Homo-oligomer: A and B are copies of this chain.
């Protein structure tokens, strides 16, 4: 897929031996997110043995389509440590927005091509239900040539699932936007999923530019009551088969995962995915362990993400406080990235020396109350500094929590502190 020099560069960026990257890419447990039709400043890889990465979703909606906002969000996401971004725009000139975002993005950028397909079909034919395979392939070729690094393709939702859900219902229905559009198309046309039916044609396009296949989970549960249900697992089995077809064609594949998942089922879900999808990298949205935290879903997502990372998840999609409520603002993006970053970092520090040392050093500065050395090591130096400053100068370098009863000052006086 990629030449050796490029993979060597990736190994260096990832701080792992070249052989780990080479073997991982070969056996499909690692995917490098990098379209070969462009040059990315900070390409990244996801998969077994690598740091857990995070992705931030950006993009206009039909109600809110200012590009400047999305550009600001892109910058905020990258500055806050997002390893990749997705442009999920559905409003405005989609190709222009995407290419502009790509120009400003140093990190890999993914899309859900169905959004542009749907927009195009609606514009030209007046109704998404008239979508044909040519509409699909046109957009895929265009996006692949333009340099998109990974595509979410909802090829796992099949006719039998659409029939099943109509009979058995669900509390949350289908919450994947792409999944719902496709389900509607399948329901009206009484035909099999076009992405599934034409999967090999799609792979040919993606292979040409090394676009990574991100197998979308159209049937992820959108309510705790639907957690790990037959629909979800049925689709996961299809995705596993599609992973094999991707590998056969030489297209890198990652698998997308839930969603709203019971706290006690999160780890199990990760292990199930690894097994059913033959060790493919797992890219998750959440999981959220509760439905009631609207306004704070980034926190539920951090809980789910950290547990998932321990059980094998490789790539976390940022959930912002705006989830379920509105298109995120720049501030929402920041809060969301921070939460995902904490989840990923808490896992990464166990396996990567730089992250471990960052914690150790920060704690050493903390014990010495060397605040100016400490701040740059925190995940948000500006916030840490602002928080501490608000109450003015505190005696003896302590903070306003303990004041003169500062435990670390006492520790120091008694000679308890490690100065190595």
Name A residues whose Cβ lies closer than 8 Å to a Cβ of B: 61-64, 90-91, 115, 118, 162, 165-166, 169-177, 179-181, 183-184, 187, 222-225, 260, 262-264, 289-296, 298-300, 302-303, 306-307, 309-310, 321-327, 338-339, 342-343, 345-347, 349-350, 356, 358-360, 362-364, 366-367, 374, 377-380, 383-384, 387-388, 390-391, 394-395, 399-408, 410-420
Q: What would 22 A/B residue contacts be, using CB atoms closer than 8 Å?
A: A61-B402, A64-B403, A91-B403, A166-B414, A170-B418, A172-B366, A173-B407, A173-B416, A183-B416, A222-B407, A223-B367, A224-B356, A225-B360, A263-B346, A263-B350, A264-B310, A289-B306, A289-B342, A295-B387, A296-B383, A306-B307, A327-B401
Complex: A407 Cα to B322 Cα, angstroms: 17
Chain B positions within 8 Å of A358 at CB level: 292
A264-B310, A295-B383, A324-B401 given; 10 more Cβ-contact pairs under 8 Å:
A64-B400, A171-B417, A177-B402, A180-B411, A181-B407, A224-B363, A260-B363, A290-B349, A290-B359, A296-B380
Return the chain B residue nearest A226 by Cβ.
B363
Verify B363–A395 contact, CB threshold 8 A.
no
Chain B positions within 8 Å of A166 at CB level: 414-416
Known interface pairs A181-B405, A293-B378; A299-B400 also in contact (CB < 8 Å):
no
Report copies per complex.
2
Verify A225–B363 contact, CB threshold 8 A.
yes
Complex: A407 Cα to B380 Cα, angstroms: 35
Chain B positions within 8 Å of A223 at CB level: 359-360, 363-364, 366-367
Verify B415–A263 contact, CB threshold 8 A.
no
Verify B417–A169 contact, CB threshold 8 A.
yes
Complex: A302 Cα to B358 Cα, angstroms: 22
Chain B positions within 8 Å of A321 at CB level: 387
